[in-house]
Amino acid sequence: MPELTKAALPLLPESCRARLLNHYGPGISGWLAAIPAAMTNAGHQWNLIPTEYHDAGHASVLVVAESGGGERVLLKGWPDPERCVREVAALRLWSDLPTARVLEVDEERSIAALSLVGGRPGGGRRGSDDIRQVAGVIQAAHDRGRALEEQPGFPELSSYLDEEVRPRVAHRMKSLAPIVPGPLLRAGWRALESLTQAGHRRTVLHGDLYRENTACDGHGRPHLLDPLPMYGDAAYDWAFWTVYYRLGQGTEERLALASRVSGIGCTVLRSWSLALCLHGLLYYREVTDSRYPTMERVMHSILPSREDAP
């Protein structure tokens, strides 16, 4: 059984500092300097020994810690207090579903202790039916969110689309149009402009369904991690998962599965997927990210070639 010590965590890994500074800007330099001691103190307060940084992610600091009973948990610290509050609220909403469990929270310092799915960062081994199981967990989370009688205080998807996505896309289209294939620009813009949200599909969205934001327990069962929750049409989550879960691999398979599990027609999901693709493609082009050719192929693959069931 480990013995608690008062030894502080060392300075953040430089790669972690660089990612967070790039994400939030230089204004968090003071927070970055103070967070090792803050996370050490939070861990001791909760009878946890911080053991090592998990050098991953762009929006938080992650530390593996160990309890007096030998259980490994994850300490997570956010520079953005609202991000902490919203992520914790979503995980608590889904507390009886396969998601990371919230063990402790210090909202004043924006630090939480979360269960470490699979006992290690990244979780355990994935099963051969990974995407089917993940789709089931997404649907269960959406069902829980739809059962709420009122909006639980998360940002609205409509505001995100109107205030962030559409202005960014319009700006980037002006400067990048000469180097992005015209048919993709036109198809993506038509899809983005035509998006409408269905009231009966409104729910709490995970909002960030990359593959790394799921992890499997020791039985191969996937859990949702690291939500960036919003409130809006479930089609957004399914389209994000279709496009980004494994960018460029299995896109059509996920699209068909998303439609089958959610009951949302393929035509609707293709439109949402194309809109998200355009947003991602223009960003990749702007920052010269090497994934832009893959995103172009994904867009070509989901361009509607026939009438799908609504």
Q: Does 112 share its domain with 135?
A: no
CA quadruple 281, 283, 288, 289: dihedral positive or negative? negative
Mean pLDDT over each residue of the chain, to the nearest integer: 93
Q: Does 106 share its domain with 139?
A: no
Look at residue 122 and tell me if it is in a domain.
Answer: no
Looking at the structure of the chain, the number of domains it has is 2
Domain limits for position 152: 130-302
Look at residue 3 and tell me if it is in a domain.
Answer: no
Look at residue 121 and tell me if it is in a domain.
Answer: no
Q: Output the domain CATH number for residue 66.
A: 3.30.200.20
pLDDT digits (tens, 9 = 90+) for 104-161: 999 999 999 999 999 999 999 998 899 999 999 999 999 999 999 888 899 999 999 9
Q: Does 181 share its domain with 257?
A: yes
Residue 7 has a pLDDT of 64
Residue 87's φ and ψ, nearest 5 degrees, are -65, -45
Say how far apart CA 281 and CA 247 lie, in whole Å.
12
Look at residue 125 and tell me if it is in a domain.
Answer: no
Higher pLDDT pick, 181 / 77:
77
Q: Does 109 share its domain with 206?
A: no
Say how far apart CA 212 and CA 123 lie, in whole Å.
10
Look at residue 27 and tell me if it is in a domain.
Answer: yes
Residue 36's φ and ψ, nearest 5 degrees, are -60, -45
Final residue of a structural domain among 90, 116, 142? 116
Least confident residue range of 203-212, 243-252, 296-305: 296-305
Is 80 exceeded by the pLDDT of residue 28?
yes
CA dist list (Å): 273 to 79, 154, 237, 298, 301: 31, 22, 10, 9, 11
Say how far apart CA 135 and CA 263 lie, in whole Å.
12
Q: Does 141 share its domain with 267?
A: yes
CB 115 within 8 A of CB 100: yes
CA-based R_g, the chain, Å: 20
Look at residue 310 and tell me if it is in a domain.
Answer: no
Q: What is the mean pLDDT of residues 23-33?
A: 96
Q: What is the mean pLDDT of residues 35-48?
A: 96
pLDDT digits (tens, 9 = 90+) for 49-61: 999 999 998 999 9
Say how far apart CA 82 and CA 41 lie, in whole Å.
21
Q: What is the mean pLDDT of residues 249-275?
A: 98
- Closest by CA to 299, choosing from 282, 275, 277, is 277
Other C-beta atoms within 10 Å of 299: how many? 26
Look at residue 95 and tell me if it is in a domain.
Answer: yes
Q: Does 88 share its domain with 201?
A: no
- Closest by CA to 64, choosing from 78, 49, 74, 56, is 74
Q: Output the domain CATH number for residue 293.
A: 3.90.1200.10
